[in-house]
Amino acid sequence: MKFPRTMRTHCPRCKTHTEFNVSLYKAGKRKAAKQGERHQKVRKRGYGGQKFPLQHNQAKVTKKQSLMLKCGECGYTHQRNGIRLKKVEFE
Ligand SMILES: [Zn+2]
Residue pair 91/2 in contact by the 8 Å Cβ criterion: yes
pLDDT of residue 27: 92
pLDDT digits (tens, 9 = 90+) for 46-65: 888 888 899 999 899 999 99
The CA 23 to ligand 1 mean position distance, Å, reads 16
Three-class SS state of 35: helix
- Whether 18 is in a domain gets the answer yes
Q: 67-71 and 77-79: which strand pairing?
A: antiparallel
| CATH number where 13 lies | 3.10.450.80
- Whether 39 is in a domain gets the answer no
The CA 34 to ligand 1 mean position distance, Å, reads 32
The CA 53 to ligand 1 mean position distance, Å, reads 43
Average pLDDT of the segment spanning 62-89: 94
The CA 68 to ligand 1 mean position distance, Å, reads 14
With a pLDDT cut of 70, the percent of the chain lying above it is 100
- Whether 40 is in a domain gets the answer no
- Is the pLDDT confidence value at 83 over 90? yes
pLDDT of residue 48: 86
- Whether 7 is in a domain gets the answer yes
Count of domains observed in the chain: 1
pLDDT of residue 91: 87
- Whether 10 is in a domain gets the answer yes
- Whether 33 is in a domain gets the answer no
pLDDT of residue 49: 83
* pTM of the predicted protein model: 0.73
Residues 6+ apart with CB under 8 A from 41: none
Q: How confident is the model at residue 72 (pLDDT cuts 50, 70, 90)?
A: very high
Question: How many residues comprise the chain?
Answer: 91
Q: How far apart are CA 79 and CA 70, in angstroms?
A: 9
Signed CA dihedral, 15, 8, 20, 80: sign only: positive
